[in-house]
């Protein structure tokens, strides 16, 4: 896999896929991407992952360690797959806060969970991962699934997530990563950089959004780099689990 890590020397610039943009511009452009894909977000997830995203999310819920009565936070919750599983884990005596920076995606997820009958123990809030609007030490578990790579300032977001965790609480980051099986790399590159934009154009008439999503995966830190980033922000007992040969990885770290 080609390494496309950010090499910008200008602190005012950040990555939007393979482009360099002003830091203040990225959030608006990411919002535009998800506004564009929201209506068929679940369909495209199934197409992009051949349905495997559902397995990866179930494994994440299993690794959450949540128990009945716990309080959990799902950041960049999107259409609510992780939120649905987490709300079941905490049960009617617990609470789940479902957040997304994108109002349209949050509304999509809220409607889906209401239709699934998950009402009593879920709260919905539009929120920025870099500045979470919660008191310190609120949550037993914080999850972010396929959202960290879209965050402009990952260090600020990780620091914010650490702050809102209770002592002993854990952060789970589910994200596309770097395949660890050599033959997968060229196939994965071809699929994500060539096939996905074509499918996005065919299904949504929006190849550009899926080109960005594929490029954003290349810009995202690999498994060990993200682990070190978590450690630098103060997380302890950090570890990761590779799914599907490392195409996706689940990182877990604790606030001690």
CATH of the domain at 246: 3.40.50.150
What integer pLDDT is reported at residue 8 of this predicted model? 46
Pick from 134, 166, 183: which is nearest to 255 by CA? 166
7 domain-assigned:
no
The residue to which tokens 């977001």 are assigned: 157
6 domain-assigned:
no
What integer pLDDT is reported at residue 39 of this predicted model? 80
What integer pLDDT is reported at residue 152 of this predicted model? 94
47 domain-assigned:
yes
> Which pTM does this prediction carry?
0.91
27 domain-assigned:
no
What does the alpha-carbon distance between residue 219 and residue 148 come to, in Å, rounded to a whole number? 11
What does the alpha-carbon distance between residue 44 and residue 66 come to, in Å, rounded to a whole number? 29
What does the alpha-carbon distance between residue 4 and residue 88 come to, in Å, rounded to a whole number? 38
92 domain-assigned:
yes
206 domain-assigned:
no
What integer pLDDT is reported at residue 10 of this predicted model? 56
Domain count, the chain: 1
Full residue range of the structural domain in which residue 138 is found:
37-181+212-254
What integer pLDDT is reported at residue 1 of this predicted model? 43
The residues of the chain scoring below 70 in pLDDT are 1-10
Each residue's pLDDT tens digit, 95-146: 999 999 999 999 999 999 999 887 789 999 999 999 999 999 999 999 999 9
What does the alpha-carbon distance between residue 36 and residue 29 come to, in Å, rounded to a whole number? 11
């Amino acid at each position: 896999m080609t390494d496309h890590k950010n090499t910008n020397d200008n602190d005012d610039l950040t990555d939007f896929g393979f482009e360099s943009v002003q830091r203040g511009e990225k959030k608006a452009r990411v919002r535009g991407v998800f506004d564009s894909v929201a209506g068929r977000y679940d369909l495209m997830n199934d197409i992009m992952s051949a349905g495997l995203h559902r397995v990866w999310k179930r494994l994440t819920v299993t690794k959450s360690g949540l128990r009945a009565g716990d309080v959990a936070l799902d950041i960049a919750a999107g259409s609510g797959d992780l939120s649905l599983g987490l709300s079941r884990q905490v049960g009617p005596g617990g609470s789940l806060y479902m957040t997304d920076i994108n109002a349209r995606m949050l509304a999509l997820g809220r409607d889906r969970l209401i239709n699934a009958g998950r009402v009593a123990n879920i709260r919905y809030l539009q929120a920025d991962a870099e500045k979470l609007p919660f008191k310190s030490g609120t949550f037993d578990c914080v999850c972010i699934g396929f959202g960290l790579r879209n965050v402009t300032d990952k260090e600020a977001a990780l620091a914010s997530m650490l702050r809102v965790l209770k002592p002993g609480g854990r952060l789970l980051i589910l994200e596309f990563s770097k395949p660890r099986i050599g033959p997968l790399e060229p196939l994965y590159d071809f699929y994500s950089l060539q096939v996905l934009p074509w499918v996005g154009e065919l299904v949504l008439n929006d190849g550009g959004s899926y080109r960005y999503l594929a490029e954003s995966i290349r810009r995202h830190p690999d498994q060990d780099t993200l682990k070190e980033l978590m450690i630098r922000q103060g997380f302890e007992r950090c570890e990761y689990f590779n799914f599907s040969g490392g195409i996706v990885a689940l990182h877990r770290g604790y606030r001690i």
